[in-house]
Amino acid sequence: MEKLKDALDFRDFSRAEQVGFTIFSIFLLLFPWLGAGSFVKAVMIQFLLFSLFGMGWNTVGGYGGQVELGKAQYVGIGAYTVALTMVWWKIPFWVSMPMGILLAVGYSFMIGYPLFRLKGHYFAIATIATSLVLQDIFANWKLVGAAKGIELPIHDHPDFLYMQFKSDTYYYYFIMVLFYVAIFYMNWFRRSKLGYQLRMIKDDEDAAESLGIDTRWCKIKAYSIASAFVAVGGGFMAVYNLYIDPVSVMDLDLSIKIALMAMLGGAGSLWGPTIGAAFLVPLDRFLGSWLGGHGGLIGLDFMIYAMLIMVVSAYQPRGIWGIIEQFRRKGS
**To the nearest whole angstrom, how small is the minimum distance from the Cβ of residue 227 to other proteins?**
17
Q: Where in 20-79 is the site for other proteins (CB under 8 A)?
A: 65, 67, 69
Largest CA distance in the chain: 61
Piece of 10-18, 20-28, 223-231, 259-267 that binds other proteins (CB under 8 A):
259-267
For other proteins, which residue of 3, 90, 303, 328 counts as binding (CB under 8 A)?
Answer: 303
Examine residue 129 and tell whether it contacts other proteins (CB under 8 A): yes
For other proteins, which residue of 290, 298, 326, 328 counts as binding (CB under 8 A)?
Answer: 298
DSSP letter string, 52-78: HHHHHHIIIIIIS------THHHHHHH
Q: Where in 312-331 is the site for other proteins (CB under 8 A)?
A: 312-315, 317
Check if the beta carbon of residue 279 is closer than 8 Å to that of residue 97: no
Amino acid at 3: K
Binding mask 101-120 for other proteins (x = CB under 8 A): -------------xx-xx-x
For other proteins, which residue of 28, 128, 181, 194 counts as binding (CB under 8 A)?
Answer: 128
Piece of 79-87, 153-161, 176-184, 292-300 that binds other proteins (CB under 8 A):
292-300
Examine residue 94 and tell whether it contacts other proteins (CB under 8 A): no
Alpha-carbon distance of 239 to 163, in angstroms, equals 6
Query: What stretches of the chain show up as alpha helix (H) in DSSP?
Result: 2-7, 15-30, 38-57, 72-89, 93-115, 120-140, 168-189, 193-203, 205-210, 215-241, 246-250, 252-266, 272-293, 300-315, 319-331
Examine residue 4 and tell whether it contacts other proteins (CB under 8 A): no
3-class SS of residue 269: coil
Angle between helices 272-293 and 252-266 (to 10 degrees): 130
Binding mask 262-281 for other proteins (x = CB under 8 A): -x---x--------------
3-class SS of residue 204: coil
Binding site for other proteins (CB under 8 A): 65, 67, 69, 114-115, 117-118, 120-122, 124-126, 128-130, 132-133, 136-137, 140-143, 252, 256, 259-260, 263, 267, 296-300, 302-303, 305-310, 312-315, 317
